[in-house]
Amino acid sequence: MSNEFAFIDWIRSQQRTEASVLLAAGDDLAIVKFDPNDLVLIGIDQILDGVHFNLNEHDPRLIGKKAMNRNLSDCAAMACLPVSAVVSFAIPRGMSVECMKEIYLGMKEAGEAFDCHIVGGDTGSWDQKLAISVAITGKSAGLTPVRRSGARVGDTIYVTGALGGSILGRHLIFTPRVREARDLVARHAIRSMIDLSDGLSRDLGHICRESGVGAVLDSGCIPIHDDARQRPGDVLLHALNDGEDHELCFTADAGIDSAIRIGKIVEEKGVWIDRSGVREKLITAGFEHHF
């Protein structure tokens, strides 16, 4: 990178204290204040050039948005409110400061849309491709965090939107379902939840494994995104396996109108699909890596 220190100074100018942020960038660590009743939720997620985005092809601001929104989507999956993020950039030598600023601004905009502020970070230059890690903290803010492990036999399985074909562009511009998750958990007994990053078949498999149960999907109920129809191959398999939809998948009693019912939690382990009365096990290896 041509001027790493100029970039660091510029980043600092973009960060400021907020009600919950007592000290933002410029020290060894940031200081954040939580309400005494809050549980603190913590996670990290990275995006890598050539794996999750392509620096030569994609708008840098959207790359930044994706990096932040993946973490916000993890907050949604726990029904917590995002609070702050810290970011690390491994920057290819020779990369322009302007491009890095665009990426940063994309992250900042995505975060601030959910009142989540970047409070610190780390930059390093190397002769390899761009890697971006975002670590997020969230707060329970009056709602018990929803885990993957709470699904019970008989639960109805839901998703919050149509699936498949996100590689056509949606993986860069999805909206994390933070508000939907808060609303669902405030109004219903949501027993387990996850965000769909690796594809419905694999992510629902995580819920099943953590909860010690199985799942049967109703093939006629899976909401298929128009993007999936533009991809070669079986559209249902795209909806089940493509990944990076970042919709929520959750289990609860029947009768929730604000999400789409796609199946049932059952006792028999594994993730199954029912096609017109014929039940077959889903092979989750179909995860479509981007690029």
- Judged by CB under 8 A, does residue 136 bind a copy of itself? yes
Of 14 and 125, the one with the shorter C-beta distance to a copy of itself is 125
Q: Select the span of 61-69, 102-110, 137-145, 214-222 touching a copy of itself (CB under 8 A).
A: 137-145
Of 30 and 228, the one with the shorter C-beta distance to a copy of itself is 30
- Judged by CB under 8 A, does residue 257 bind a copy of itself? no
Matching residue, tokens 């149960």: 213
The contact pattern for a copy of itself, residues 9-38, with x = CB under 8 A and - = no contact, is: -------------xx--xxxxxxxxx-x--
- Judged by CB under 8 A, does residue 247 bind a copy of itself? no
CA atoms of 110 and 225, how far apart (whole Å): 23
| Shortest reach from residue 277's CB to a copy of itself, in Å | 33
Closest CA to 108 of 4, 100, 250, 171: 100
Of 111 and 235, the one with the shorter C-beta distance to a copy of itself is 111
User: SS3 string of 181-212?
Assistant: HHHHHHHCCCCEEEECCCCHHHHHHHHHHHHC
The contact pattern for a copy of itself, residues 139-158, with x = CB under 8 A and - = no contact, is: -x----x-xxx---------
Closest CA to 247 of 196, 206, 200, 199: 196
Using DSSP's 3-state secondary structure scheme, residue 19 falls into coil
Of 129 and 269, the one with the shorter C-beta distance to a copy of itself is 129
CA atoms of 223 and 262, how far apart (whole Å): 8
CA atoms of 116 and 67, how far apart (whole Å): 13
Find out whether 110 and 68 touch, Cβ atoms under 8 Å: yes
CA atoms of 154 and 132, how far apart (whole Å): 41
Q: Select the span of 69-77, 171-179, 258-266, 275-283 touching a copy of itself (CB under 8 A).
A: 69-77
Q: What are phi and psi of 279, to 5 degrees?
A: -100, 125
Q: Figure out which of the listed residues 1, 68, 72, 75 binds a copy of itself, where binding follows CB under 8 A.
A: 75
- Beta-bridge mates of residue 187: none
- Judged by CB under 8 A, does residue 262 bind a copy of itself? no
Of 130 and 216, the one with the shorter C-beta distance to a copy of itself is 130
Q: How far is CA 255 from CA 210, 216, 260, in A?
A: 24, 18, 10
Of 65 and 246, the one with the shorter C-beta distance to a copy of itself is 246
CA atoms of 149 and 157, how far apart (whole Å): 14
- Judged by CB under 8 A, does residue 219 bind a copy of itself? no
Q: Figure out which of the listed residues 15, 133, 175, 211 binds a copy of itself, where binding follows CB under 8 A.
A: 133
Q: Enumerate binding residues for a copy of itself (CB under 8 A).
A: 22-23, 26-34, 36, 39-46, 48-52, 74-75, 77-78, 80, 84, 86-88, 90, 119-122, 124-129, 131, 133, 135-138, 140, 145, 147-149, 194-195, 210
